[in-house]
Amino acid sequence: MDILAIGSYINSIEENKTLYEERNFDKRAEAIDFIEFHIIDQLQNTNYPHELLLLKDKAEKIKAELEAIDLNLFKRLQEEIRVGKYTGKGFKAMINEYVDIDLNDTQHQQEAGYDNLDVFINGLITLQSIPEQTKELEPEMVYYQKTPARVVFEMAERIPFTQDGVFFDLGSGLGQVAILVYLLTGVTVKGVEFEPAFCNYASDCAVKLNLPQVEFINTDARYADYSQGTIFFMFTPFKGEIMQEVLVALQEESLKRKIKIITYGPCTAEVALQSWLNSVNLKDNNMYKLTVFTSC
Ligand SMILES: C[S@@+](CC[C@H](N)C(=O)[O-])C[C@H]1O[C@@H](n2cnc3c(N)ncnc32)[C@H](O)[C@@H]1O
């Protein structure tokens, strides 16, 4: 982009008053993204002409103003979540006021893709800077990567969650899946996470949003207590022997009551080999599509 194009883009953002209206989160997210990657990042060289550096300063100021609107919005919504204003359909409807939730997008994805819904959910339920990993993972344990928020919304829509059931996220990372499932369904949720720093962070997020029905347990999933679990979610947290040990523990639970295992990502293929599980929607072979297994 040349100086004229950058200048006219910045002016158009500054003059576009709709971007400064709280409800236009989607448009604001696109503008912030553009300013960050196509203007500020491109103008890092301090030897650029003075005019360009002035434009960069202006872009940074506008970006900060737009981000401040989002911060205020999240603060207000967090307070409303704290007092129980949004659960279930009310929570989804509230999100839909700010971000377009078109769940059809998840059907054809070939990888874990993120979008504005993730940006919104990050701002809403993650409350402080992300902690570093403190424990070394064993070779069969998989590093943290979050499930796209859109996939969690799809799961909440497709699976009949009953209020007497308990949802487990195995390898719950920073807690987003568990917190979202609770907010979208009202069901009791538990996250099991090997990394203590992630587990503490997730617990802090739940406490700050005043969600006592959301619990995070810091343990290896092989040794967790699943005696209350009815629905178990896995976004490929581990593989090989560890996966087999966890599946044996879940099979034992399935002898006492029917359970569901929902998978996302490459672990679907390993779970699909279990003869004690029936599955739906395995035919199209897309691992980045939710697969639901039910115990026989
Ligand atoms: C791919 S991430 C999924 C995170 C989260 N479930 C989500 O979807 O956003 C896998 C997580 O599993 C955790 N993990 C790996 N092995 C584990 C084990 N044996 N027990 C519990 N957690 C484990 C990792 O620390 C990591 O946070």
Pocket of ligand 1 contains residue 134 by CB under 6 Å: no
Q: Which of 199, 261, 250, 243 shows the shortest CA–CA distance to 227? A: 250
CB 213 within 8 A of CB 188: yes
Pocket of ligand 1 contains residue 168 by CB under 6 Å: no
User: Residue 85 Cα, ligand 1 centroid: separation in angstroms?
Assistant: 30
Whether the pLDDT of residue 107 is over 60: the answer is: no
Q: Which residue's CA is the nearest one to ligand 1's atom 14?
A: 171
Residues 6 or more apart whose Cβ sits within 8 Å of residue 295: 251, 254, 258, 259, 260, 261, 276, 277, 278
How far apart (Å, rounded) are the C-alpha atoms in residues 190 and 61?
A: 41
Q: Where are the beta strands (DSSP E) in the chain?
A: 166-170, 188-193, 214-218, 231-235, 260-264, 277-280, 291-295
Q: Which residue's CA is the nearest one to ligand 1's atom 23?
A: 171
CATH superfamily of 98-295: Vaccinia Virus protein VP39 (3.40.50.150)
* Mutational test site, ligand 1, from 125, 147, 238, 245, max ligand atoms within 8 Å of CB: 238
Pocket of ligand 1 contains residue 126 by CB under 6 Å: no
Pocket of ligand 1 contains residue 177 by CB under 6 Å: yes
pLDDT in tens, 5-29: 888 889 999 899 999 999 999 999 9
Amino acid at 197: A
* Domain boundaries defined on the chain: 3-82, 98-295
Mean pLDDT for all residues in the chain:
92
Q: Which of 219, 238, 220, 234 shows the shortest CA–CA distance to 142? A: 238
Ligand 1 atom showing the smallest separation from residue 238 Cα: 16
How far apart (Å, rounded) are the C-alpha atoms in residues 56 and 49?
A: 11
How far apart (Å, rounded) are the C-alpha atoms in residues 251 and 277?
A: 9
User: Residue 17 Cα, ligand 1 centroid: separation in angstroms?
Assistant: 42
* Per-residue confidence (pLDDT) for residue 284, from 0 to 100: 67
Residue 210 Cα distances to 2, 82, 92, 175, 276, angstroms: 49, 5, 18, 14, 38
CB 9 within 8 A of CB 1: yes
The percent of residues above 90 in pLDDT, for the chain, comes to: 79
* Per-residue confidence (pLDDT) for residue 267, from 0 to 100: 96
How far apart (Å, rounded) are the C-alpha atoms in residues 288 and 267?
A: 10
Pocket of ligand 1 contains residue 70 by CB under 6 Å: no
Residues 6 or more apart whose Cβ sits within 8 Å of residue 55: 3, 6, 7, 10, 39, 43
88 φ/ψ sector (left φ>0, alpha ψ -120 to 50, else beta): left
pLDDT in tens, 273-283: 999 999 876 66
Ligand 1 atom showing the smallest separation from residue 242 Cα: 19
List the end-to-end C-alpha distance of the chain, in Å, as a whole number. 60
How far apart (Å, rounded) are the C-alpha atoms in residues 151 and 103?
A: 8
Q: Which residue's CA is the nearest one to ligand 1's atom 11?
A: 171
Considering 33-37, 56-60, 165-169, the range whose residues carry the highest mean pLDDT is: 165-169
How far apart (Å, rounded) are the C-alpha atoms in residues 250 and 296?
A: 12
Amino acid at 198: F
Mean pLDDT of all residues in 20-40:
93
pTM of the model: 0.93
